[in-house]
């Protein structure tokens, strides 16, 4: 069900972005899949962070040995724009803020 849900959600977002003209819109969150998965393929052609090789992991599972990227910031802009992206790995006094490393975009 998860694969089908991701596929349908991706198609819905892409369809809405074309018909509604979202402008400066970002999809941000845990997509529970790598950007290379077939159901997320339409997003791979857009501007997104993290790109392959830019970070080791976005999911830590409260452990140091996790190496999974499943969280993304995807730009639905029609024009390629250089945004500043950052992954927050500082625990601010605790080992982990959450089981996923927060990410942000600066416009």
pLDDT in tens, 79-99: 666 778 899 988 888 888 889
In the structure encoding, which two tokens stand for residue 53, read together?
């090789």
pLDDT in tens, 29-59: 898 889 988 988 888 888 889 988 889 899 9
Contact 80, 58 (CB under 8 A): no
| pTM of the predicted protein model | 0.82
Compute the distance between CA of residue 83 and CA of residue 75 in angstroms, rounded to an integer: 9
Of 67, 10, 13, 1, the residue nearest 38 (C-alpha): 10
């Amino acid at each position: 069900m998860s694969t089908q849900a991701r596929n349908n959600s991706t198609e819905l977002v892409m369809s809405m972005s074309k018909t509604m003209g979202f402008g400066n819109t970002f999809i941000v969150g845990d997509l529970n899949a790598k950007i290379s998965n077939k159901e997320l393929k339409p997003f791979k052609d857009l501007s997104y962070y993290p790109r392959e090789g830019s970070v080791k992991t976005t999911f830590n599972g409260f452990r140091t040995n996790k190496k999974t990227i499943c969280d993304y910031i995807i730009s639905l802009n029609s024009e390629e724009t250089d945004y500043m992206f950052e992954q927050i790995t500082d625990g601010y006094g605790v080992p982990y803020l959450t089981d996923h490393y927060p990410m942000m975009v600066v416009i």
